[in-house]
Structure 1
Amino acid sequence: MSEIFKKKNDYSVTVFLNGEKRLFTEYVHTIYNYSQWLQKQSIAWDYLLVYVRRNRQILCFYENGDFLHAYPTFENRGRVKQGW
């Protein structure tokens, strides 16, 4: 796993509002800071779908209001759906 997470732009994030894709960002350094940027830009969202950027694997999702990990990993992450 260490070769996947390098603490530098490890994530890609898709932003959803009302079940529709609103924004995709390929290079995200920390999930918490990204959510703060969304707030500053007045971009409303219901949930964020977080991918491991280097292998495009779905990592987790966060609903608006959830505790956001700065650096989620497979051991320390947000919500997951069965089968992930």
Structure 2
Amino acid sequence: METLTIEFQPNLKSKILELLSSFSPDEVKVVNEDPNFIENKRKLDIELAKIKDGTAEFCSIDELDLMMDDIFSEYDRKIN
């Protein structure tokens, strides 16, 4: 099977589900969306816009390594 994500106005949901129900379960299966999808998409769209307009902040792999060390150290302190 293939998966297709569609966006639609809320008032169309019942019509779409009615249409899909005309197919057998072997042909079409309705899969619920990840509840965080919309928020994650919004955040990624913002970051992509920053990359495109040149305002995104980047770091080197060494800087990332240092940041991750700090984060892990903080969690280690919370656990111990």
Answer yes or no: same fold by TM over 0.5: no
Larger radius of gyration: 2
Greater share of residues in strand: 1
Structure with the greater relative contact order (CA < 8 A, sep ≥ 6): 1 or 2? 1
| TM-score, length basis structure 2 | 0.25
| TM-score, length basis structure 1 | 0.24
